[in-house]
């Protein structure tokens, strides 16, 4: 099936590992040119080499701290310089620290806001003048916590919901430009983030990490974690030419974990 990615350019944030890397990989496999970025240049070099070795789309990279307004602006400008356009944007960011309300300082709240919500706002603002000219697709990565808050993740629970409000609002504002924007929310996908949360919960409860993992698995009807490429496949559909009429929506990719309607 042709998803229409050949000749398209995508910018994927936080793409040197985990979900971002999986999405960038699938885009390149389908023939898109992709700009990857993160704060780890060593990982970016390795991932870019892997993607270019596929012999499909082209991959380039720029080391970027997405909590910096100036670095986001540089990232978008360099992407335009490298590829001449941006057709697709995937907003993504690592999760903020785990913990409860009483543990979090003003600095913790500010840092999480800048990483998990303001970075999305700033990147969309920077790409908008370019995307308005030709239309495009935006996918904002959130979390299953937008439907069911996750205990011990007060920062993520708060700011991921902001992503949903941003998406829904911009879908209306951007429709006149033929820009479709949606939110993709992963459940428990097998990434370093899930591994870290298992360790945090195990230490908090004083039980083995394996016991925590078993409890996680019991809550998922499919009885397994998702794979990053499985999540990436759903994001690809939202970015593809096959998606022509869905905008402003929030989709869960969670193996049936969240029971709310």
User: Which runs of E-coded beta strand occur in the chain?
Assistant: 9-12, 33-38, 59-63, 88-91, 136-141, 179-186, 250-253
The pLDDT of residue 80: 98
Structure tokens at 62: 């720029």
* 131 and 214, same domain (yes or no): no
Q: Which residues of 212-224 are buried (b: 16+ CB within 10 A; e: fewer)?
A: bbeebeeebeeee
d(CA 158, CA 145): 9
Same domain, 133 and 202: no
Same domain? 76 vs 165: yes
Considering the domain architecture, whether residues 217 and 234 belong to the same structural domain is answered as: no
Look at the block and give the residue holding tokens 């978008």.
Answer: 76
In a domain, 258, yes or no: no
Distance CA 68, CA 70 (A): 5
Q: What's this model's pTM, rounded to 2 decimal places? A: 0.95
List pLDDT tens digits, range 148-159: 999 999 999 999
What phi, psi does 207 have (nearest 5°)? -130, 165
Q: Looking at the structure, tell me whether residues 115 and 216 fall in a common domain.
A: no
Query: What is the three-class DSSP state of 116?
Result: helix
Q: Which residues pair with 121 in a beta bridge?
A: none
Tens-digit pLDDT profile for residues 213-245: 999 999 999 999 999 999 999 999 999 999 999
DSSP labels, 85-111: ---EEEE--PPPPPB-GGG--HHHHHH
Please report, for the chain, how many H helices and E strands are present, in that order: 9, 7
Range of the structural domain that residue 44 is part of: 9-189+227-253
Please tell me whether residues 80 and 144 are part of one structural domain. Answer: yes
Please answer whether residues 29 and 56 qualify as being in contact, where contact means their C-beta atoms are separated by less than 8 angstroms: yes
Nearest CA among 13, 105, 26 for reference residue 61: 13
pLDDT at 200: 84
Note whether residue 261 is domain-resident: no
Between CA 149 and CA 157 the distance in angstroms is 6
Looking at the structure, do residues 118 and 231 belong to the same domain, yes or no? yes
- Mean pLDDT for 113-141 is 97
In angstroms, how far is the first alpha carbon of the chain from the final one?
31
What pairs with residue 251 in β-bridges?
Answer: 184
The model's pLDDT over 1-50, given as tens digits with 9 standing for 90+, comes to 789 999 999 999 999 999 999 999 999 999 999 999 999 999 999 999 99
pLDDT of residue 42: 97
Clarify whether residues 215 and 107 are in a common domain. Answer: no
């Amino acid at each position: 099936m042709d998803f229409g990615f050949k000749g398209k350019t995508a910018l994927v944030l936080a793409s040197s590992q985990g979900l971002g890397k999986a999405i960038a990989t699938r885009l390149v496999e389908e023939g898109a040119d992709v700009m990857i970025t993160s704060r780890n240049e060593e990982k970016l070099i390795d991932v870019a080499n892997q993607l270019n070795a596929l012999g499909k789309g082209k991959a380039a990279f720029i080391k970027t701290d997405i909590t910096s307004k100036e670095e986001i602006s540089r990232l978008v400008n360099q992407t335009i310089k490298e590829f001449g356009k941006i057709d697709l944007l995937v907003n993504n960011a690592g999760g903020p620290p785990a913990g409860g309300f009483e543990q979090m300082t003003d600095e913790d709240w500010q840092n999480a806001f800048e990483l998990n919500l303001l970075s999305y706002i700033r990147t969309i603002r920077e790409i908008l003048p370019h995307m308005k000219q030709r239309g495009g697709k935006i996918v904002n990565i959130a979390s299953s916590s937008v439907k069911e808050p996750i205990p011990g993740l007060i920062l993520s629970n708060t700011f991921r919901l902001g992503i949903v409000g941003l998406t829904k609002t911009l879908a209306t504002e951007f429709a006149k430009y033929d820009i479709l924007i949606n939110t993709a929310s992963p459940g428990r996908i097998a990434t370093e983030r899930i591994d870290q949360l298992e360790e945090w919960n195990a230490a908090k409860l004083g039980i083995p990490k394996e016991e925590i993992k078993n409890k996680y698995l019991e809550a998922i009807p499919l009885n397994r974690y998702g794979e990053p490429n499985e999540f990436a496949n759903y994001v690809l559909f939202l970015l593809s030419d096959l998606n022509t009429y869905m905008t402003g929506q929030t989709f869960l990719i969670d193996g049936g974990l969240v029971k709310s309607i």
